[in-house]
Amino acid sequence: MRRTDTHYHLDQVPDPLGLLHRCERDQLALITPSMNPASYRELLALQAKSSTILQVACGLHPESIHADEEIEEALNLARTAQAVGEVGLPGYERKVTKRDVQVFTKFCRVAADENKALIVHAVHDQAEPALEVMLDCGVRKAVFHWLKANARVASRIVACGYMVSVTPEVTYRKRDQDLLRLIPKSQLLLETDGPWEHQGPYQGKASIPHWIDDAAQYAAAVYGCSLSSWWEQHEQNVDRLFF
């Protein structure tokens, strides 16, 4: 059965094609968000070589600063992309600016107008302001990728019908475990955010999509279902958001 890693930056690994073939062999599918237009083009070229990439999303990583021309180009490309992302509001590398909110609003409008899935990076204090922008723009389909937020904000996101994703860190990190318990199984997605290096048992290694199997085992135990029925649910969630 297909198992999808819903957030993998395949263009950021040294041998993307090699990893893609390993995923193909092991029945792992990928949703690949992009960092900028160059990253988007690279991912489209990889998708042309393998049906393992279900969708390539077009976005601008919000932690980086982008030139006006790059923003315009990404917005134009996003209109015809399969999905929109990764976009959102910065929280780790720098403080959010008015311009960040304006850029995020523009991407939300594209997702709303074209009824495409939006892959959102907005963590901690930025999750709720991002939610407000999405609701104002009428975004219907979105995932708060690797969400870190308090219970009140997480519950608001769920009540709005959006999805939330967790990574293999859910297997050992209490913060992510508490979050998962607030998310109904029809609104949870799994991802690695690879090749990001996770902590705990994953420390020191670039993440590979195969690690979502650990997160799946954990989710199945929490929801009290078998691993195969969890995967069935998860893949339905993937289809509902992205197709």
Residues that bind Zn ion (CB under 5 A): 86
Query: How many Å apart are CA 94 and CA 34, to the nearest integer?
Result: 20
Contact status, residue 46 vs residue 53, Cβ threshold 8 Å = yes
Q: Which is nearer to Zn ion, 5 or 86 (CB)?
A: 86
Contact status, residue 187 vs residue 164, Cβ threshold 8 Å = yes
Q: Which is nearer to Zn ion, 11 or 86 (CB)?
A: 86
- Provide the minimum distance between the beta carbon of 228 and Zn ion in the complex, in angstroms, as a whole number: 28
Q: Which is nearer to Zn ion, 104 or 230 (CB)?
A: 104
CA-closest candidate to residue 103, choices 144, 73, 81, 82: 73
Name residues whose C-beta falls within 8 Å of residue 22's C-beta, 6 or more positions apart in sequence: 208, 210
Q: Which is nearer to Zn ion, 59 or 153 (CB)?
A: 59
- Provide the minimum distance between the beta carbon of 62 and Zn ion in the complex, in angstroms, as a whole number: 10
- Provide the minimum distance between the beta carbon of 9 and Zn ion in the complex, in angstroms, as a whole number: 6
Q: What are φ and ψ of residue 30, in 5° steps?
A: -130, 145
Q: Is 145 helix (H, G, I), strand (E, B) or coil?
A: coil
- Provide the minimum distance between the beta carbon of 8 and Zn ion in the complex, in angstroms, as a whole number: 8
